[in-house]
Amino acid sequence: MSVETVSTSAETETTGAADAAAPALRGVHTLSMAKAITAGLREAMRNDPKVLLMGEDIGRLGGVFRVTEGLLDEFGEQRVLDTPLAESGIVGTAIGLAMRGYRPVVEIQFDGFIFPAFDQITSQLSRLTLRHDGTLSMPVVIRVPYGGHIGSIEHHQESPEAYFAHTPGLRVVAPSSPHDAYWMIQEAIASNDPVLFFEPKSRYWGKGPVDHDHSGLPLHSSRVIRKGDDVTVVGHGAMVATLLQAADIAAEEGRSLEVVDLRSLSPIDYGPILDSVQRTGRLVVAQEAYGFVSVGSEIAATVAERAFYSLEAPVLRVSSFDTPFPPAALETEYLPSADRVLEAVDRSMAY
């Protein structure tokens, strides 16, 4: 396992293929999100021989985004399985493996390719535990690289998370930082329920500190990551970086935004959101996904129900437009930007 020196001598980035004899990482290291997920998968596989990986090109190639790079060499072909290009078959096989006591982790190569497996996920995987009156666990993790900002084409830059958050029996999470990605993938694998693990592919190469000794939060917890007084802004995945950028710009203009990272989309941890709104009196919810019947819609409705008398302005939503994802040249116009978030903040402050 090679080590790349970075600006802080106490922090390192793990790169390249895995070494079977390499020790588990301890302490704080600087990792990209992609390598943090790799490290989390490796840790889960070392700790439980029933954890195995499945997906298209995840073995020798290491996946399109190289997230599984090196794991085949370390764990072998019986635990890192290259599959046919058949998403429904991949998930169906994972369901069968889970029935036999395994903990399969499925990679969907791109977000838009999840739809051939939609029936298996929503009609079978989500229902089997209830169908068996709780006696059958379904510890299946489905990794989904999702979202825009990579200059790709239709079916490669989708945000389909609301379909699955809407489906009872599924857990849905989305990390925004390498630290959360490292811990959340392990916690998802340890869950006895099926978990849709949405990875913001535009953040794969962004680096940050990962504490390999302390996770910080349970899997389904939201978190205030920047304190503020004027407006609460909420988002998940790649949108969190956009919200932090908006908060920096707002601070230069004399406004204070409190940023909440959702982390989990089903279930949603409303505690930090409601506590924040009760102080600021204003809420803007932002997402890359379409706005109609979305996670943002659910949060807006719930906050309006549970914190109505704390609100000094309507809850506002910022999202992509309700159209199919456009050609790559138009993605910057389509996806929410810091400017669009700040425009909503201005409208909220105007009430």
The total of other beta-carbon atoms located within 10 Å of residue 170's CB is 23
- The string of DSSP letters for 285-307 reads EEEEEESTTSHHHHHHHHHHHHS
Q: What is the CA radius of gyration of the chain?
A: 20
Q: Which one is catalytic: 156, 179, 212, 236? A: 156
Phi, psi (rounded to 5 degrees) for 283: -140, 130
Helix or strand holding residue 5 (H, E): strand 2-5
DSSP 218: -
Helix or strand holding residue 333 (H, E): helix 331-334
265 Cβ neighbours under 8 A, 6+ residues apart: 161, 165, 172, 173, 174, 198, 236, 295
The total of other beta-carbon atoms located within 10 Å of residue 113's CB is 17
Q: Which two tokens mark 207?
A: 């680096």
Tell whether the torsion through CA atoms of 284, 288, 291 and 294 is positive or negative: negative
Confirm whether 132 is a catalytic residue. Answer: no
The total of other beta-carbon atoms located within 10 Å of residue 17's CB is 14
Phi, psi (rounded to 5 degrees) for 232: -90, 130
**Contact, 123 vs 174, CB < 8 A?**
no
- Max Cα distance, the chain (Å): 61
List the catalytic residues. 156
